[in-house]
Amino acid sequence: MWLVNFFEAYGNMISTIALLATLVVIIWYAYETRELRKESVKQTELNQRPFVMIFETDLNKIKYKNSGQGIALNISIKPFENQGYTFTFEKENLLSPNEVSNHDINPVPKDNKTGEIFPPETKIPFTPSEIKNTYLTVARIIEIQYENIEQKRYQTLVKISKEGIEYIDTNEV
């Protein structure tokens, strides 16, 4: 009998508290599900995106590879200046997953109006061992830019120094 009296007196308050508790649980569940969905999308993007990385430098040449699972489009290496020259690189339109690309390094004198480059027999210290054998102490930071098929742009930074080729970072730009 006392139980019936209790529910008559406090029944509305108990059902209101139960409904509020249910609402809190549903909101928390929706938030966690949303976060899980965002992480799932992020993981899928990471698995499907291209990753272009320099893996070897040779005398007057540079080799890079798309180590990612997605196609890399519009690949370019940002030109840099050193000792009175601007070093430029050929652009690549498409690089499939696991495909390697080999490009010449084109040093152009900064004050040269004709676009003339180094004679082919000139050695450019660009490999870690060549940098080690010269007076150069400054590492070269190479910036590679590319995009995926959804036109998201990425930038990979690589350091070439006496110690070797070192990956620095990849960011979406």
pTM comes to 0.69
Q: For residue 155, what are the contacts with CB-CB under 8 A and spacing of at least 6?
A: 143, 144, 145, 170, 171, 173
Position 89 scores a pLDDT of: 85
Q: Render pLDDT for 47-91 as a digit per residue (tens, 0 to 9).
A: 889 999 988 877 677 889 999 999 999 999 998 877 677 888 889
The residue type found at 60 is: N
Distance CA 151, CA 146 (A): 9
Distance CA 130, CA 151 (A): 37
Please give the average per-residue pLDDT across 27-52, as a whole number.
93
Q: At residue 13, what are phi and psi to the nearest 5 degrees? A: -70, -40
Position 97 scores a pLDDT of: 94
Please give the distance of CA 10 from its chain centroid, rounded to a whole number: 60
Q: Render pLDDT for 96-151 as a digit per residue (tens, 0 to 9).
A: 999 999 888 777 777 656 655 555 555 555 666 665 655 555 677 889 999 998 89
